[in-house]
A and B are shown apart, each in its own frame.
Chain A
Amino acid sequence: MMASFAAVLRKDLLLEVRGGQSTVALGALSLLVLVVLVFAFNPGGGEQGIEAAAGALWVALVFSGMLGATRAVSGEGENGCIRALLMSPIDRAALYAAKLAAAFIFMAVAEVGSIILMVLFFNLEFDARLMRLAPAVLLGALGFAALATLLAGISSRLRGGDLVLPLLAVPMFVPALIAGVKASAAALAGTPIGEFAMWLKVLVAFDVMFIAAGYLLFEYVVGED
């Protein structure tokens, strides 16, 4: 189980390093989202600017996550690679875990870029408060990757399915989105740890729920057809 997980993940990462464009595309999309939201909000400094920055960061995360999961799963559709993967003696759960890990790594790399851009565009400071952002953003990326990998398994196998992915993923992600934005705003504003920790708990609950759901249900998504 561990070996097949590592093999699939290694393959995906190798594909990316040897000139796959997922991370670049994710980063570019995040950049565009942040730029568009700066124009839309025209944030001033102070508390309002922090709230806008936290919101923008999470919008970028949702968009890049959708792209990341789609690429990790639907990339297998090319040349019928998915059929070969399903024919090989790999546990479906290991396949899900590997795809989830790949999507998560792509997202995490893009998120590092987004955080730097957010600080620049929203006139924040590079200081210790950014470190407190890390757990919230990573948990959010993990949750979104878990959810979107499962749903991308569905959308990649339907005609016009790329429309279905956001329609399903965004409403399902709402709890993590609320918690993530609130946790990020609390971290950036440097408020006491209590509120931040409460939102992190919501994120952890979300992640646990969706990883468990994906682990159990992915086998029915990729199915036997």
Chain B
Amino acid sequence: MTGRAISLWLGLVTLALMLAALCMVFVYVPTEADQGIVQRIFYFHVPCAWVAFAAFALVAIAGIFYLWLGQQVWDDLGYAAAESGMVFCTLVLVTGSIWAKPIWGAWWTWDSRLTTTLILWLLYGGYLMLRAMAGDSEQGARFGAVVGIVAAADVPIVIVSVRLWRTIHPAVLVTRQGGHGLEDPRMVETLLVSLAAFTALFIWILCLRFVTLRMHTRLVALVRSLALAEAAAHDS
């Protein structure tokens, strides 16, 4: 199967899953008793968070393989994962805020989970800035791999410190998410379908971006070899 056929199929699967998830979220699943209609955003929020975390783990893994094997393909994968992960991480923060305003009465609190996600977002924002500045160079790929690995290694310490910070401080709000006690089996089913839909969406976007980056790499290599050949012809 060619790359184009794969991405077409992935797109179709994503479309089907996403339509199913939308139907379930808005029609099938019962409204949560305490929080009302706003709780339905939970079925978008949690899959986005899962995808963002998976994407950033992928950045670090691709970084390790890039430094180890030195093949450009690993860097293209890592870069594509960071860009797609950033989209989902932004969505996590946005959907979380929309949920928090009516439930907690504030757009933002410095709860440990929120703080950790924000720091992740900042870390990978820095990664993307770095990549944008470094341009398409082998050096940029190396720097990206190093930062991707260090950022991922930093995450466990961030989680621990932020949690300690917030448990020592008295919590202003009770931060137990209502959606966690999914008492109705239909809620679990909806969450699972939604998780599958967002995972498929992520893989699709990742593939599209990855293929584009691969083409870009080949183009850059072609341009370089052309310039070299021209220079050689000019000299002789």
A residues with a Cβ closer than 8 A to B are 147, 150-151, 154, 157-161, 163-164, 167-168, 170-172, 174-176, 178-179, 182, 195, 198-199, 202, 205-206, 209-210, 213, 217, 220-221, 223, 225
Which residues from chain B contact A202 at a C-beta distance below 8 Å?
157, 160-161, 164
7 tightest CB-CB pairs across the interface, nearest first? Answer: A175-B161, A171-B122, A168-B126, A167-B126, A175-B157, A178-B161, A171-B123
Q: Nearest chain-A residue to B145 (Cβ)? A: A220
Find out whether the CB atom of B145 lies under 8 angstroms from the CB atom of A164.
no
Interface centre among A151, A163, A172 (most CB of B within 10 A): A172
Please name all residues of chain B whose beta carbon is closer than 8 Å to the beta carbon of A167 when the two chains form the complex: 125-126, 129-130
The reply to whether the CB of B29 lies closer than 8 angstroms to some CB of chain A is no
Set of chain A residues within 8 Å of B160, measured between Cβ atoms: 175, 202, 205
Task: List residues of chain A with CB within 8 A of the CB of B138.
Answer: 225
B134 within 8 A of A: yes
User: Does B145 contact A174, Cβ atoms closer than 8 Å?
Assistant: no
User: Which residues on A sit within 8 Å (CB–CB) of B127?
Assistant: 168
B62 to chain A, nearest CB (A): 14
Contact yes or no, B133 A158, CB < 8 A:
yes
From known contacts A167-B126, A168-B130, infer whether A150 and B150 are also in contact, taking CB-CB under 8 Å.
yes
- Residues A209 and B153 in contact in the complex (CB < 8 Å), given A154-B147, A158-B134: yes
* Interface of B (DSSP majority class): helix
A179 to chain B: closest CB distance in Å?
6
Residues in A with CB closer than 8 Å to B151 are: 172
By the criterion CB–CB under 8 Å, are A217 and B149 in contact?
Answer: yes
Which residues of B64-105 have CB atoms within 8 Å of chain A's CB atoms?
67
Q: Contact check: which of A161, A182, A210 meets B165 at CB < 8 Å? A: A182
Q: Which residues of A contact B165 (CB under 8 A)?
A: 178, 182
Task: Give Cα A173–Cα B174 distance, bound, in whole angstroms.
Answer: 28
Residues of B within 8 A of A164 (CB): 126, 129-130, 133
Q: Which residues of B contact A210 (CB under 8 A)?
A: 150
B142 A221 Cβ-Cβ under 8 A = yes
Q: Does B61 lie at the interface of the complex (its beta carbon under 8 Å from any beta carbon of A)?
A: no
Chain B 139-152: CB-based contact to A (< 8 A → 1; otherwise 0):
10011011101110
With A175-B158, A209-B153, A213-B153 known, 5 other A-B pairs at CB within 8 A are: A154-B130, A168-B123, A171-B123, A202-B161, A213-B149
Give every chain A residue within 8 A of B146 (Cβ-Cβ): 150, 154, 217, 220-221
Nearest Cβ on chain B to A74's Cβ, whole angstroms: 15
Footprint of A on B, CB under 8 Å? 67, 119, 122-123, 125-127, 129-130, 133-134, 138-139, 142-143, 145-147, 149-151, 153-154, 157-158, 160-162, 164-165, 168
Are A168 and B147 interface neighbours, CB within 8 A? yes
Q: Is the Cβ of A172 less than 8 Å from the Cβ of B123? A: yes
Kindly list chain B residues whose C-beta atoms are within 8 Å of the C-beta of A176. Answer: 161
CB pair A206 B143 closer than 8 Å: no
The chain A residue with its CB closest to the CB of B146 is A217
In contact, B164 and A220 (Cβ under 8 angstroms): no
Chain B nearest CB, measured from A173 CB (Å): 9
A154 and B154 form a contact (CB under 8 A): no
Give A221 to B119 CA distance when docked, in angstroms. 24
A179: chain B residues at CB < 8 Å are 161, 164
A217, B150: Cβ atoms closer than 8 Å: yes
| 27 residue pairs from A and B, CB less than 8 Å apart | A157-B139, A163-B129, A164-B126, A167-B125, A167-B126, A168-B123, A168-B147, A170-B122, A171-B123, A172-B123, A172-B151, A174-B158, A175-B158, A175-B160, A175-B161, A175-B162, A176-B161, A179-B164, A182-B168, A202-B157, A202-B160, A205-B160, A209-B153, A210-B150, A217-B149, A220-B67, A220-B145
Q: Could you tell me if A172 and B154 are in contact, using CB atoms closer than 8 angstroms? A: yes
Nearest CB of chain B from residue A218's CB, rounded to whole Å? 9
Q: Which residue of B lies closest to A202 (CB)?
A: B161
The residue on B at minimum CB distance from A159 is B133
Residues of A within 8 A of B67 (CB): 217, 220
